[in-house]
Structure 1
Amino acid sequence: MTTKIRDRLLVGTILSAVAFTTPVVAQTAVAAQTVDAEAQPGDIVVTAQRRSERLQGVPIQIQALTSATIQNAGIRTSGEALSLTPNASFDQGNTYKSTFITMRGLTQINNADPPVAFVIDGVPQTDQTQLNVNLFDIERIEILKGPQGALYGRNASGGAINIVTKLPGNQLGGFANGQYSNGDGIIGSAGLSGPLIDDKLLFSVDGSYNHFGGLVRNSFRGDHSDFIDHDWTLRGRLIAKPTDTLTIDLHGEYGKYQASSNYYSAVFSGNPNDFVDPQFNLPGSASGRNVNVSAKIDLDLGFATMTSITGHTDLTQVNRADLDYRNPVQSPSGIFGLGFQAGQGQDLKLKTTSQEFRLVSNGHERFRWLGGVYYLHTDRDFRTRAFVDLNSDPAQIDTPALLFANKQESNKNNAYAAFAQADFDILPVLTLTGGLRYDEDHRNQNDLIGNIQRKKTYDHVQPKVTLTYKPSSDMLFYATFGTGFRSGGFNAPTVPIPDFRAETLQNYEAGFKAQFLDRKVTFNGAYYFENVKNYQYFYVEASSASQVIDNIDKVHIQGIELELSARPVTGLEITGAIGTTLSRIKDSATASDIGNRTPRTVPFSSNLSAQYSVPISDRVNGLARLDWQHFGKKYWGADNVDIQTPYDLVNLRAGVEFGNFGIFGFTKNLLNDKYYSEYIPTKYSGLDVALGYHGRPRTYGVEGRIKF
């Protein structure tokens, strides 16, 4: 399809869908417990700053996805939610659970901390494998852009993602959703919640299941390389309210999965816009399980609320895959022309325990404050092997004579933090906010093969200051200075670069939020400038099966974000947003990279969401929705040689609701645009061939849901 024809089809699709067009930021009723006096029915209330506030009254650029938006847009994963946010992307690559979050130019790297704080019901998710979450029974997702270190601490340089699940209530009820799509895709979820003792003891139980036959064909094996055999989760929750001032909230979750892994295509042309099928001979697979438990205790002391949040995670993953990503028939010379094929495998065991104590002042007085302390302990055992592949059997990894790389490491990390934030209304229309956080990480790595220990401590003070001017309840201007910190750490044993430095950031930002015409039109925007020191990035050294993290000495990033939403007529809501990320490498050990854009940068992105809801009869409502995401050029490496051309993802969804039952048809990636969600040039792959990881092709199907 030519660009001209594709663009005409895209515009035509949009114009026809606008006739049925909710903004991504849908509205929800104000929570009863909100303390923001300016909130009105229909406003979104968020807890981004650890207290309930009206979204439009928070001096942060926030994308808030309510339960209605998540349901109506057919959002099933945290990745799909983040992709609706300009200046942010959620790519997949490497193993089944590996993800690459990029926000405002700061990007995820393998085997290290993410660039954003990722929190579910107050519990931080600290590992790369924990970020691709299956969403069901979700109350709200808050995506905060810009450094949030003062409140969210380490790894919040790019922003924070706050996921809030639904609370059970006093009414017994439940839900069930089922979806079938091409590629033999089956997704289901169901749940039940209600009271065991009215107002005193509430419960919820729910679960999800995912199966996918695959759509990315392996041209050598003849099967599909992107399959999901199973991925299921069971979750339980118990809320006890023994007194009017005490609430105890207990969570438990268990999940297992078995799916495809590392389904890279060997791109012999070295062109990131040459989309070829995978052709490897050794099948890739990943299997794992996870256990998550948490306890949240809220005690109202009158003048303030004390909160304790305890979380524990125990997860494992076993990964097996091809290493040369070719086959002995079409590439008999093998890896590096050495005459043999190669395979790889990684075994991961991760345990984390976290504890936070927080005290937040009650009410909405002239002076508001909060403070707290935080602790995180991490045990991470990781084994990596590379082996000579004689027969395409992943079990060869356990044959010592075939191994040519064998690394096994044990990592322990103790992280400590203390934080505080205060708001003071200098005038009724002018507020000064100050925040401060101190983070300290103690890292310890033990090379179990070479019996070598390494220890290092990283620490940083993160201040934040914001001045907010509210000339009216519907208009806000702010200027802010904030900082970010991503801890340094150790690469795997025997890697030529033994460790990487901590990444720090200073952010200068000015923005506004405004609503007009009885809050039917919302217009928000911001300009930001980031000064980043020791920018962290990632590459592979395939000959030793090493994944390497390194630093770029100094980077400048600046950009704008604009969002406009409107409700021009009853039932019709439209949102459009754009974001720019203009990064420049200012200082680097690789002199030729100076002046270039940073890896994985997308300088321009935008989206359009439109939804139309109309009553068809007294008992039947119709719903139609369009989501269009545009991704501009993508610069894969710091040398800026490999650039992926722009692409568009268009999703359509339409259906009817009969009371508590609904049935919908949908398509995602309507135009079947091809793109790589990860592309690794030879310079950064360590192989003699570039690698590309296919994005999801066009999918379509039907979905039914019921509430009772």
Structure 2
Amino acid sequence: MERVEDYVALTPGVTIVTNTAEVADSQVNIRGINGARDAENNYALIIDGVLRTNPAALNREYSNLQQIEVLKGPQGALYGRNAAAGAIVITTKKPGNEVEGEVKVSGAEDNTFLVSGSLSGPLVKDELFVRLHADYRTSDGYYRNSFLDSKTIDGFEGWNVDGRILWEPSAATSLDTQIHYGEVDANAIVFNASFQLPAFAQFLGIPEFFEDVNDHRFVFQPNITSFNNQTALELSTKLDHDLEWATLTGWLLYSDIDNNFGADGTSGAFGFFNNEPTCRQTTAELFAAGVTLPPPQILGPTPEQSIFGPYTPTSCDGTQFQVRNQEDVSFELRLASPAGQALRWLAGVYYLHIDREVGVNLGIDKGAGITRALFVPPSGTNPTEQLVHDNFRTNVYAVFGQLAYDLTPDLEGSVALRYDREVRRVRNLVPADARTQFVDFDGPPFTGGAPLNPGLSPIINPSGVIPPQKRAFEQVQPKVSLTWRVDPEWTLFANWGVGFRSGGFNNLGSAATVDLFFNSTIGAGVKIADVFRKETSNATEAGFRGRLFGGRLRLEGAYYHTIVDDMQFFEFFVGPFGLLRVVSNIDKVRIDGFEVSAHARPASWLDLYAAFNFTDSSIKRNDSRPDTVGNKSPLTAKYTLNGGAMLTLPVLDDVDWILRADGRLTGPTWFHTVQDEQRPTIFGVPADYSVTRRDAFFLLDLRTGFETARWSLMAFATNLTKERYLAEVIPAIEFGGSFVSPGALRRFGAEFRVKF
């Protein structure tokens, strides 16, 4: 396993959405608490004891892995900021006195290749050690652009270099310094549109206007080749010093991750650019050439005679270019008592500064591709037609501590407390004097002359000014735990804790835009704010861990109950203003569930495992969309079932044959708060979203080959049974449809690894 999603696939009650929109976008759901796109993480990501705060830091290659743990439930006191749903703890191998290295080469279908290598050893014996690593991965991806006849839908190319210096000047002191640099050049926006407009299906006789998302047949034919570029630089240093009466741990992290992507647009359905010459020309030429669009779309000789969805081969969609850059500096200091005493304690402080830039641009497609800038003047080849662009700055201050006491030799009680205060500022960066050429916020007809940011329009904002804003969010997060070692084989535990995720700012002008175009025109009744509220959760858990048959069978189980207040949730709007990404709040969500797992080793050559999670969730209050009360928590699978086996059979004195199978059944999943409801749309007819739940799906991976202490040669297959499933569904409620992304297809490959 080199990527976190490989491990998540083996973890019950945890799901992840990644690589559907862009490489920096990963949404992790842990026991019903979802990660909202464009918000902070809902989990703490710890790499070798250092907390990473950038949401883009998760989705990358990890070298020299020793262990990955997914801890569930509030973990703030021990693992840090944003650990409301849990923590992902990654530990890599330390360099030591032995000179050792590893080279791995793998190849698979779709021109998929990975090359990685590492080397470690001492610079000064017993004192100074170093490890170097580099990797390169490339793939054409699974899907093809049928219009451009190219594999440019979900391709990927990326490389990383890592360095680590471990200094141990004495038995009491160690200084661990790491640097990571990586670059990615990939595709973006692996989506089609699926429509949920039954009135159109009946009136026009086109059944695809009312489509179950699970039945969608994917056709990719944009005229724009998408791109996604990321550069990541991370530098950390961590000090551990034994003071005899306590251990002092301190770390400092600098992170700078820049991410941008460009892709075909979504605006063809609104007719923004019907009178733009390139739109009219490409429509006529493609119609004359006999090009067809997948239903329910229709390509006619003119835009007015066509029915367009998003991402068509014409230029009438426009383009999109988005930027998400973040630079942050953080440090933590903590003191911890020795582990062997009856009363154990921990105390620490934490600071974080974030400087984040977020921009979303709608551009006019003049046939010259995408200009990689958020603002392009009307004289440019890809003029900006709509823009939200803001700078977000955050300062975070936290103190935390924990007391653990052995109430009896077999019963431990602990109390933890964390206090966070986040001060957030936002400043709008859209040029106030720039004007559109077509989009006018009151069309059709679209005659332009409006500000680029809908929030600057006098129709929406009479002042014509978006002033800077500042807000503070704070929370005390207690946690109480009891652990009873019933006997050497069995342990019972229970805990209660409060989780916290800070509120923040949407792009300024979001609330006014939704009010004007959806609430005042079609009576959508959607409540969106420029400031979204903090999320808090009260989580209770009780469970057991045990062993049978001398440790050959290990069992675990837990029941959990969580109340989430103001759960943060991503909403995507498209309309006569262009597109809008916002974070909203679900006022109250109840989550109940249980999970059980078993690991067995009936023989020295056979390992078996199985794990099951069931989550029952219910929205109890949602002022943003009141008719969704009683629905399920979004992005939460009803259940997950994992199982697998590994055989290790000797074939020669030092050669083993390995066969491993891993399967996962993921239950039905809703991706929005709107589920079985009908909702008004900008097209004047209601949409029915009862067909937007992702069906359950089963994935099977297989791996087999030969292994020695020095080398291994393996063949592998992912998604062996060729399961067709959806990676993500993003309903755009007032648009009358959903943006759907396909899952990975079957892929065969081989891998060779050598150690020295």
Give the alignment's TM-score, normalised by structure 1.
Answer: 0.87
Write out aligned runs for 1:57-68 (5 A). Answer: none
Q: 2:289: which partner in 1?
A: none
RMSD: 1.9
How far apart are 1:128 and its partner, in Å?
A: 2.4
The structure that is strand-richer by fraction is 1
Q: 1:15: which partner in 2?
A: none
Q: 1:19: which partner in 2?
A: none
1:96–1:262 contact (8 Å) kept in structure 2: no
Q: 2:702: which partner in 1?
A: 652
Q: 1:43: which partner in 2?
A: none
Q: Does 1:472 align with 2:491?
A: no
Report the residue type matching 1:381 in the other structure: E
How far apart are 1:224 and its partner, in Å?
A: 2.4
Report the residue type matching 1:311 in the other structure: L
How far apart are 1:630 and its partner, in Å?
A: 0.5
Match of 2:665 among 620, 630, 644: 630
Instruction: Please give the secondary structure, in 2, of the residue aligned with 1:592.
Output: helix
Q: Does 1:576 align with 2:552?
A: no
Write out aligned runs for 1:24-423 (5 A). Answer: 75-92=1-18, 93-268=20-195, 269=208, 270-275=211-216, 276-324=218-266, 328=283, 329=286, 330=293, 331=299, 332=303, 333=306, 334=308, 340-391=316-367, 393-395=369-371, 399-401=376-378, 402-423=383-404
Write out aligned runs for 1:477-488 (5 A). Answer: 477-488=492-503
Looking at structure 2, the residues matched to 385 and 630 of structure 1 have their Cα atoms a distance apart, in angstroms, of 38
Looking at structure 2, the residues matched to 451 and 500 of structure 1 have their Cα atoms a distance apart, in angstroms, of 17
Report the residue type matching 2:632 in the other structure: R
How far apart are 1:228 and its partner, in Å?
A: 3.6
Instruction: Please give the secondary structure, in 1, of the residue aligned with 2:213.
Output: coil
With over 3 angstroms needed to count, the CA separation of the structure-2 counterparts of 1:613 and 1:339, relative to structure 1, is closer
1:153–1:485 contact (8 Å) kept in structure 2: no
Instruction: Please give the secondary structure, in 1, of the residue aligned with 2:215.
Output: coil
How far apart are 1:451 and its partner, in Å?
A: 5.7
How far apart are 1:622 and its partner, in Å?
A: 1.0
Q: 2:415: which partner in 1?
A: 434
Report the residue type matching 1:547 in the other structure: R
Deviations 1:253-305 (CA, angstroms, capped at 9, x unpaired): 11111001112112244422023122322221111211100000111001211
Q: 1:563: which partner in 2?
A: 597
Report the residue type matching 1:562 in the other structure: V
Report the residue type matching 2:746 in the other structure: R
Q: 2:748: which partner in 1?
A: 700
Report the residue type matching 1:274 in the other structure: D
Looking at structure 2, the residues matched to 415 and 456 of structure 1 have their Cα atoms a distance apart, in angstroms, of 12
Write out aligned runs for 1:12-27 (5 A). Answer: none
1:634–1:644 contact (8 Å) kept in structure 2: yes
Instruction: Please give the secondary structure, in 2, of the residue aligned with 1:644.
Output: coil
The farther-off stretch of 293-302 and 151-160 is 151-160
Instruction: Please give the secondary structure, in 1, of the residue aligned with 2:421.
Output: strand
1:624–1:653 contact (8 Å) kept in structure 2: yes
Instruction: Please give the secondary structure, in 1, of the residue aligned with 2:652.
Output: coil
Q: Does 1:610 align with 2:642?
A: no
Looking at structure 2, the residues matched to 133 and 452 of structure 1 have their Cα atoms a distance apart, in angstroms, of 37
2:422–2:502 contact (8 Å) kept in structure 1: yes
Instruction: Please give the secondary structure, in 2, of the residue aligned with 1:545.
Output: strand
Report the residue type matching 2:53 in the other structure: T
Q: 1:670: which partner in 2?
A: 720
What is the aligned residue count? 632
Instruction: Please give the secondary structure, in 2, of the residue aligned with 1:101.
Output: strand
Deviations 1:493-544 (CA, angstroms, capped at 9, x unpaired): 2111211100000011110001111111101000000011001111112343
Q: Which runs of 5+ in 1 are unaligned?
A: 1-74
Q: Which runs of 5+ in 2 are unaligned?
A: 196-207, 269-281, 287-292, 294-298, 431-464, 512-528, 676-689
Give the alignment's TM-score, normalised by structure 2.
Answer: 0.81
Q: Percent identity?
A: 31
How far apart are 1:209 and its partner, in Å?
A: 0.8
Higher relative contact order (CA 8 A, sep 6+): 1
Q: 1:61: which partner in 2?
A: none
Looking at structure 2, the residues matched to 638 and 128 of structure 1 have their Cα atoms a distance apart, in angstroms, of 23
How far apart are 1:614 and its partner, in Å?
A: 1.4
Match of 1:458 among 455, 461, 473: 473
2:571–2:582 contact (8 Å) kept in structure 1: yes
Deviations 1:48-70 (CA, angstroms, capped at 9, x unpaired): xxxxxxxxxxxxxxxxxxxxxxx
Q: 1:591: which partner in 2?
A: 626
Deviations 1:618-643 (CA, angstroms, capped at 9, x unpaired): 12111110000100111121122321
Q: Does 1:503 align with 2:535?
A: yes
Deviations 1:463-516 (CA, angstroms, capped at 9, x unpaired): 000111112122100111111001000001211121110000001111000111
Q: 2:198: which partner in 1?
A: none
Indicate the structure (1 or 2) with the bigger Cα radius of gyration: 2
How far apart are 1:213 and its partner, in Å?
A: 1.1
